[in-house]
Structure 1
Amino acid sequence: MIERVLPPEVATAWTTGDPDVPLFPEEAALVAGAVPSRRREFATGRHCARLALARLGVPATAITTGDRGQPVWPNGIVGSITHCAGYRAAAAARRDRLRAVGIDAEPHRPLPAEVTDMVLLPEEQADLARLAAADPAVHWPAIAFSAKESLYKAWFTLTERWLGFHDARLRFDRSFDRGGSFTAEIGIAAHTIEGTRVPPFAGNWHTDGSVIVTAVTAE
């Protein structure tokens, strides 16, 4: 399902279960003290990442984590990993094709009111209320939450800086079956880690009725 929200130059892999897959020793060390469910989802996420890398012609390698918990990809690769109940996915692209990729998966269910206020700006809530009036079957605040998670992952790849939920203004549409696109306006000044201007971010969302997937890319 994740492939529906990404451009063709992005390689993807996903699963709805947790197969018995091995980890590299340096990966296993990262979750050695975690509960079994966390170890399983971590292993499946890395398995999906290696499948995506293989589709780019990249040999299997350990994918460790950086100081903010982000996956550390092979040189020349950008990517993202996500997991929620019943869904795990990874996406990867060559850095000379895309500068950043962020993906997220969430259950398609109502977002608690207190979380909605924490995540969404008042003007975003007003926009989503109008969309909900026309399309009430979609849990729009949950879509927006997932979109901001994807945005943060792409943003951090480029800047290695924090981005709060209220630091970005999203605008959504429903332009295809069970999904659509969104744009992001960043409300804080920042440059990429190379010192260049942060490029525009574009995203897509999709739901099958039980799971939401979102993705953000930057060229």
Structure 2
Amino acid sequence: MPDLAGLAACARALLPPGTGIGATDPRDRHPAFPGEDIAGVPLRLAEFRAGRAAARAAMAELGLPTFAVPVKDDRAPRWPAGLCGSISHSETLCLAAVAVLSPLRGIGLDLEEDGPLEEDLRTAILRPEESHVSAEEAMLIFSAKEAAYKAQYPMSLCLFGFDALSVHLDHANRSFTARFTTEITPFPMGYVLHGRYAHVQDHILTAVTL
């Protein structure tokens, strides 16, 4: 069984004070919550409901009521007014972070099973300046880009490919930067997002805040 308290503690260490954290197991039963109905196969529904349960646990940690977090037309979570947040899950772990919008503008979390990135995905995910990394580092770069994308999306509302971000890993400080390689309004080319990462319970966890 996963150590959900340990997972939450790891995420808490990566994020600023005042961020609420919730962790759940997607294999547990999480009842549907009013206002969050979606259609899908049982596995997808289980992961969705676990993510929303984690989001409400994060809200509760901040002393907030348990609001619904429905899905917008672009499939992103619709956070309650005045809040920002992020949800990520694997088959065995689910994590959510929630914060009041001021001073934070965005949060991005990503959980990936720890292991090498498949060789046939490297060209789709890695830019030329990233192509020298090992398969394990490539997976970390993939996760870092996912977290960075989630953090900035509420501001840009723009879909873009992996080549729009260039990631530099700083293993000594378990941190990374994600630099925009093109203008994505309101972010100019060269704008840098800062993130941190950890290895926890056979997973990579990455976190970016704006």
Please indicate the TM-score interval, normalised by the length of the shorter structure: 0.7 to 0.9
Partner in structure 1 of residue 208 of structure 2? 216
User: What is the CA–CA distance in structure 2 between the aligned matches of 1:9 and 1:125, rounded to whole Å?
Assistant: 37
Offset of residue 171 of structure 1: 0.4
2:108 is the alignment partner of 1:102? yes
Provide the secondary structure at the position in 2 that maps to 1:30. coil
| Equivalent of 2:74 in 68, 71, 85 | 68
| Equivalent of 1:18 in 20, 27, 31 | 27
User: What is the CA–CA distance in structure 2 between the aligned matches of 1:197 and 1:11, rounded to whole Å?
Assistant: 30
Partner in structure 1 of residue 89 of structure 2? 83
User: What is the CA–CA distance in structure 2 between the aligned matches of 1:25 and 1:60, rounded to whole Å?
Assistant: 11
For the 8 Å contact 1:14–1:88, the answer to whether it is kept is yes
Partner in structure 2 of residue 135 of structure 1? none
For the 8 Å contact 2:18–2:62, the answer to whether it is kept is no
For the 8 Å contact 2:115–2:139, the answer to whether it is kept is yes
Aligned counterparts, 1:7-156, within 5 A:
7-27=16-36, 29-31=37-39, 34-126=40-132, 128-129=133-134, 139-156=136-153
Deviations 1:29-76 (A, max 9, x none): 213xx1111111111100000010111222111100112211110111
- 1:81 to 1:209, Cα distance in 2 relative to 1, 3 A: closer
For the 8 Å contact 2:198–2:206, the answer to whether it is kept is yes
For the 8 Å contact 2:84–2:100, the answer to whether it is kept is yes
User: What is the CA–CA distance in structure 1 between the aligned matches of 2:33 and 2:200, rounded to whole Å?
Assistant: 33
Q: Which runs of 5+ in 1 are unaligned?
A: 133-138
Q: Percent identity?
A: 34
Deviations 1:163-184 (A, max 9, x none): 21001111001135xxx10011
User: What is the CA–CA distance in structure 2 between the aligned matches of 1:7 and 1:165, rounded to whole Å?
Assistant: 26
Aligned counterparts, 1:184-203, within 5 A:
184-192=178-186, 200-203=192-195
User: What is the CA–CA distance in structure 1 between the aligned matches of 2:43 and 2:106, rounded to whole Å?
Assistant: 29
AA aligned opposite 1:160: L
AA aligned opposite 1:186: F
Provide the secondary structure at the position in 1 that maps to 2:38. helix
Offset of residue 9 of structure 1: 2.5
Offset of residue 162 of structure 1: 1.4
- The size of the alignment, in residue pairs, is 200
User: What is the CA–CA distance in structure 1 between the aligned matches of 2:178 and 2:103, rounded to whole Å?
Assistant: 20
CA RMSD across the alignment: 1.9
User: What is the CA–CA distance in structure 2 between the aligned matches of 1:191 and 1:65, rounded to whole Å?
Assistant: 23
Partner in structure 1 of residue 14 of structure 2? 5
Offset of residue 17 of structure 1: 4.6
Provide the secondary structure at the position in 2 that maps to 1:65. coil
User: What is the CA–CA distance in structure 2 between the aligned matches of 1:209 and 1:20, rounded to whole Å?
Assistant: 21
For the 8 Å contact 2:25–2:50, the answer to whether it is kept is no
Q: Which runs of 5+ in 2 are unaligned?
A: 1-6
